[in-house]
Amino acid sequence: MELKKSLSLTISYFDLFDYPLKKEEIWQWLWSETGRSLARGEVERELTSGQREGWIAEKEGFYFLPGREKIVGWREERGKISWKKIKKAQRVARLLGLIFGVKMIAVCSNLGYLNADEEADIDFFVVSEVDRIWSVRFWSVFWMKILGQRPSPGKTKNKICLSYFVTEDNLNLKSTEIGEPDRHLIYLLSQYLPIYSEDNLWQRFVAANDWIKRYLPNFQYGSAAERFLIKPKYLWWKRLMAGLADKRIERLLERIQRQKMAGELKALMNDGRKKVIINNKMLKLHSNDKREEINQKISKSQFSISPPASPCKAWRAGK
Residue 275 sits in a domain whose CATH number is: 3.30.460.10
Cα–Cα separations (whole angstroms), residue 282 to 70, 138, 278: 40, 14, 6
Assess whether 131 and 232 both reside in one domain.
yes
Identify the CATH number of the domain in which residue 32 sits. 1.10.10.10
Residue type, 253: L
Question: In terms of domains, do 79 and 66 share one?
Answer: no
Residues 111 and 229 in one domain: yes
User: Would you say 156 and 288 are in contact if contact means Cβ atoms under 8 Å apart?
Assistant: no
Distance CA 288, CA 161 (A): 13
**Which residues are paired to 196 by β-bridges?**
105, 230
For residues 269 and 288, give the distance between their C-alpha atoms in angstroms, rounded to a whole number. 13
Kindly report the CA angle at 261 between 258 and 267, in degrees rounded to 5? 100
Q: Which residues of 83-122 are buried (b: 16+ CB within 10 A; e: fewer)?
A: eebbeebbebbbebbbbbbbbbbbbbbbbbbbbbbeebbb
Contact indicator for 195, 92 with CB cutoff of 8 Å: no
Total domains, the chain: 2
Residues 191, 235, single domain; the answer is yes
CB neighbour list of residue 164: distance below 8 Å, 6 or more residues apart: 108, 123, 124, 125, 126, 283, 284, 285, 286, 319
Q: Is 306 inside any structural domain?
A: no
pLDDT at 1: 63
Domain residue limits at 141: 74-285
pLDDT score at 271: 80
**Main-chain dihedrals φ then ψ at residue 163, nearest 5 degrees:** -125, 10
In-domain check, residue 317: no
Q: Is the dihedral of CA 307, 315, 275, 213 positive or negative?
A: positive
Q: What average pLDDT score do residues 296-300 get?
A: 86
**Residue 180, in any domain of the structure:** yes
Query: Is residue 116 domain-resident?
Result: yes
pLDDT digits (tens, 9 = 90+) for 247-269: 899 999 999 999 998 888 888 88
pLDDT on residue 182: 96
Does one domain contain both 28 and 149? no
Q: pTM here?
A: 0.90
Same domain (yes/no): 109, 46: no
State the chain's mean pLDDT as an integer: 91
Report pLDDT for 313: 33
Question: Cα 116 from chain centroid?
Answer: 12
Residues 53 and 84 in one domain: no
Q: Which amino acid is it at 99?
A: I
In the chain, which ranges are continuous DSSP H helix?
A: 2-15, 23-28, 40-53, 70-96, 133-146, 183-190, 201-208, 235-244, 247-260, 263-268, 291-301
Is residue 21 in some structural domain? yes
Backbone torsions φ then ψ of 271, nearest 5 degrees: -90, 5
Domain presence at residue 147 = yes
Same domain, 124 and 238: yes
Cβ atoms 291, 182 nearer than 8 A: yes
If asked whether residues 56 and 20 sit together in one domain, one would say: yes
Separation of CA 29 from chain center: 14
Does 88 share its domain with 36?
Answer: no
Q: Is residue 20 part of a domain?
A: yes
Looking at the fold, whether 281 and 196 belong to one and the same domain comes out as yes
The answer to whether 126 touches 285, Cβ cutoff 8 Å, is no
pLDDT band at 314 (very low <50, low <70, confident <90, very high): very low
DSSP per-residue letters across 177-203: -SSSS-HHHHHHHHT-EEEEESTTHHH
303, pLDDT greater than 80 = no
Residue 192 in any domain: the answer is: yes
Co-location of 127 and 16 in the same domain: no
CA–CA separation, 56 vs 8, rounded Å? 8
pLDDT at 79: 97
Question: For the chain, what percent of residues have pLDDT higher than 70?
Answer: 93
Has residue 31 got a pLDDT over 50? yes
Per-residue pLDDT, 243: 67
The band of 174, judged by pLDDT with boundaries at 50, 70 and 90, is very high
- Residues shown for the chain: 319
